[in-house]
Chain A
């Protein structure tokens, strides 16, 4: 059974990520007084994309390889995390650094593809994506490191679910705030969908992608936002536990649903920021996150 756990994680992520995307779209539609697409629309979108011609406009292997890499990286993350509060067989061999590494790899592969695509819009999108990564990754790292600092271990199994559970101090509260404020940036939603910026960059880094390759990127983005919702729930709401795995899983999924409602609400009531404004915003968040880790080291 413990051998199957990573596969179960991956299966749940693959099955539910488009549904959560559908929730976001439905919520956005309701806020905009529209009917909106049905909840299962993202599944259909992915299917449709898979059936479309896969253009290889760059004609180079990095261009073809990038979507696979992005998809594989996020799946690997999904496999190792203690989903439903239960550490799986891989967790013992993995640590927080690996998760950060895999998430960065996913982001880097988007850059990789955009640079290989050599499109003017893609390149601007890539440079924005790069700036965003540089500014946002530290916040993610601090979130995970705070737990590690508190427990004195980098292990995933120990660090994530009990990071806050050990003692919910000022540092955790501050980090919770920082995480909430950075959530839209993690999931690349308004006001921080700067790299894709539909009206000026026409989806930026993804502009040259089509068909199955684009579907992989889309799927990877959906999985990524599901991961960040899960990370929030498991790091900051560790008390939502009963000890019974299926029940915990259900509770976590419900909590993630609430996080998605929050993402949708903020996303649909804010304009997109400019990259220079966003950088100033991230800088404040990084400072606050550093302060939280400092407080954690100090023992609060």
Chain B
């Protein structure tokens, strides 16, 4: 289905409700829709093979006296992404919930319920998602009249109400601090004996208010550095995705060499991220030798990045208009040398673990999800590719220089945790291949494109970047004060985490760590939004002994 066909079929189906359409860039569509037909239109797109990406809500009361909401859908095979843009008057910010049809939209709607005060009648689980349990009702942090550094007074004795326990189950609390979770998040796991029956998630405990901060405080070219710090592993993905979204919105084209250098950065990041996850997966099944050796191999990538960009992890390479450092000929030779060594080491590592029946025993048949349900939950990245869904934004929505590079997308049909790990192992070899091609095909030229005027305001751009964990989605609406008017980040973990209860169901509790680990969860990516949850307003000061008593008593 081409972009024209989808527009005409939408017009045919919804007639007057389709107010207009535009195409900000190739393969990108925006359709303005009356909010009364939103749910039907979303179902219409899903039924025609669309994959739900994310929703973007915005406070546009100062310009149009409305709250805006855009739901984005990707047509991977047809290679375009479409946004259904709708708006509700400021006095009645109500939209039909699309979650009953599209379960992965559940968090988006809960997020904007918390942050913008939108209402979604028909939502199956209208609970708090983002703001703290004691956050007062009626203050919606992403609304423009709320200052970015607001700290409302906190209250005690407000707790998140966990889901009703299925009969015959007991709750095992995993988190907020637990050895499996490297970041704070709370999973209430409902177990019957050792079998998991249900799971409720309460996360967003480390909100940093990054979106609000960048919409109100900093300027365009400072955002890439903040975006890079959204995630401790896939930082470059976020800065590239942000810069591409701005470049698309403003219609800037950057030098080809810079695009190739971005590819090298992204693939180096994928190399170290996959090796990290494979190591962590080893640790989670109690196989620390795999952990240590995956990380030993990974270390070469870190050293290489350090030489190339000046830092092991936060490369700081990407800015709007290109990249900050060039790859010198000596650097190029060094990258080739490291890649050669790396390929040999990864190959021997692959041989040593791929056939190990003791690892198979812990990962095969664990966290099994049939392919239809993977599509239903819009799972992303290796989590989907390990379960037979062939999507990869690098191939489906080519960005940077990926259109010139040949690579395979490994897909397995195992449908379990082992499948996701095999996919990652194979992707390591693809990444090495991609870096080699990028270095070979890289044209000469400047790395930073300079442009002579201010970026145009109120243009829309959204970019899709294949992070190691799946598709990262950044939406930017350019603004007037040298900063984005609206910037929305959706990391892959945001989507994949919503599928975790489904993956856990009927598995053993002992498999909880590896199932959660197999999506390579990145809570810091997920928790990026909303306002800082500081408890500075607390009146009572607890003494140490009181704290000890409190923490030891069981409520």
Tell whether any CB of A sits under 8 Å from a CB of B in the complex: yes
CB of A158, distance to nearest CB on chain B (Å): 40
Within 8 A of B (CB), among A31-55: 31-34, 55
CB of B168, distance to nearest CB on chain A (Å): 16
| Contact residues of A: prevailing secondary structure | loop
CB of A52, distance to nearest CB on chain B (Å): 14
Whether A275 pairs with B289 at a CB distance below 8 angstroms is: no
Check A271/B282 contact, CB under 8 A, given A32-B288, A202-B178: yes
Whether B287 pairs with A194 at a CB distance below 8 angstroms is: no
In the assembled complex, the Cα of A276 lies from the Cα of B290 at a distance in Å of 23
In the assembled complex, the Cα of A142 lies from the Cα of B284 at a distance in Å of 34
Contacts of B296 in A (CB 8 A): 33
Q: Is A154 an interface residue (CB 8 A)?
A: no
Quick one: closest A residue to B511, CB to CB? A274
Within 8 A of B (CB), among A133-160: none
Whether B508 pairs with A55 at a CB distance below 8 angstroms is: no
Q: Is A238 an interface residue (CB 8 A)?
A: no
Q: Is A104 an interface residue (CB 8 A)?
A: no
Query: Which range holds the interface residue count of chain B?
Result: 20 to 34
Quick one: closest B residue to A202, CB to CB? B179
Check A32/B292 contact, CB under 8 A, given A124-B194, A193-B286: yes
Whether A199 pairs with B362 at a CB distance below 8 angstroms is: no
Q: Is B537 an interface residue (CB 8 A)?
A: no
Q: Is B398 an interface residue (CB 8 A)?
A: no
Check A199/B292 contact, CB under 8 A, given A191-B358, A273-B361, A277-B361: no
Please tell me which one of the listed residues A118, A199, A202 contacts residue B286 in the complex, with CB atoms under 8 A apart: A199
Q: Is B127 an interface residue (CB 8 A)?
A: no
In the assembled complex, the Cα of A202 lies from the Cα of B292 at a distance in Å of 20
Quick one: closest A residue to B178, CB to CB? A202
Whether A272 pairs with B289 at a CB distance below 8 angstroms is: no
In the assembled complex, the Cα of A276 lies from the Cα of B285 at a distance in Å of 15
Contacts of A197 in B (CB 8 A): 286, 510
In the assembled complex, the Cα of A120 lies from the Cα of B509 at a distance in Å of 12
In the assembled complex, the Cα of A274 lies from the Cα of B512 at a distance in Å of 11
CB of A263, distance to nearest CB on chain B (Å): 14
Check A199/B282 contact, CB under 8 A, given A275-B194, A277-B361: no
In the assembled complex, the Cα of A199 lies from the Cα of B509 at a distance in Å of 11
- Residue-wise, chain A 269-300 has the 8 Å CB interface mask toward B (1 for contact) of 11111111100000000000000000000000
Check A32/B289 contact, CB under 8 A, given A274-B362, A274-B510, A276-B508: yes
In the assembled complex, the Cα of A197 lies from the Cα of B552 at a distance in Å of 22
In the assembled complex, the Cα of A221 lies from the Cα of B535 at a distance in Å of 42
Max count, chain B CB within 10 A of own CB: residue among A33, A55, A190, A271: A271
Whether A200 pairs with B288 at a CB distance below 8 angstroms is: no
Query: Which range holds the interface residue count of chain A?
Result: 20 to 34
Check A55/B552 contact, CB under 8 A, given A200-B510, A270-B358, A275-B194: yes
In the assembled complex, the Cα of A190 lies from the Cα of B513 at a distance in Å of 17
Check A200/B552 contact, CB under 8 A, given A33-B293, A271-B358, A272-B286: no
Contacts of A206 in B (CB 8 A): none
Q: Is A167 an interface residue (CB 8 A)?
A: no
In the assembled complex, the Cα of A194 lies from the Cα of B286 at a distance in Å of 9
In the assembled complex, the Cα of A28 lies from the Cα of B289 at a distance in Å of 8
Check A271/B510 contact, CB under 8 A, given A33-B296, A120-B170: no
- Residue-wise, chain B 270-303 has the 8 Å CB interface mask toward A (1 for contact) of 0000000000001111111111110010000000
CB of A31, distance to nearest CB on chain B (Å): 6
Q: Is A260 an interface residue (CB 8 A)?
A: no
Whether A200 pairs with B513 at a CB distance below 8 angstroms is: yes
CB of A268, distance to nearest CB on chain B (Å): 5
In the assembled complex, the Cα of A276 lies from the Cα of B365 at a distance in Å of 14
Whether B172 pairs with A124 at a CB distance below 8 angstroms is: yes
Q: Is A242 an interface residue (CB 8 A)?
A: no
In the assembled complex, the Cα of A199 lies from the Cα of B292 at a distance in Å of 16
Within 8 A of A (CB), among B524-555: 552, 554
Q: Which B residues lie at the A interface, using CB under 8 A?
A: 170-173, 178-180, 194, 282-293, 296, 358-359, 361-362, 508-513, 552, 554
What are 24 A-B interface contacts by the 8 Å CB criterion? A31-B289, A32-B288, A32-B293, A57-B552, A120-B170, A120-B173, A124-B172, A190-B286, A191-B286, A197-B510, A199-B180, A199-B284, A200-B179, A200-B180, A200-B510, A200-B513, A202-B179, A268-B289, A271-B286, A271-B361, A274-B361, A274-B508, A275-B508, A276-B194
Known: A197-B510, A270-B287, A275-B194. 11 other contacts (CB 8 A): A34-B292, A120-B170, A197-B286, A199-B180, A199-B284, A202-B179, A268-B288, A269-B289, A273-B362, A274-B508, A274-B510
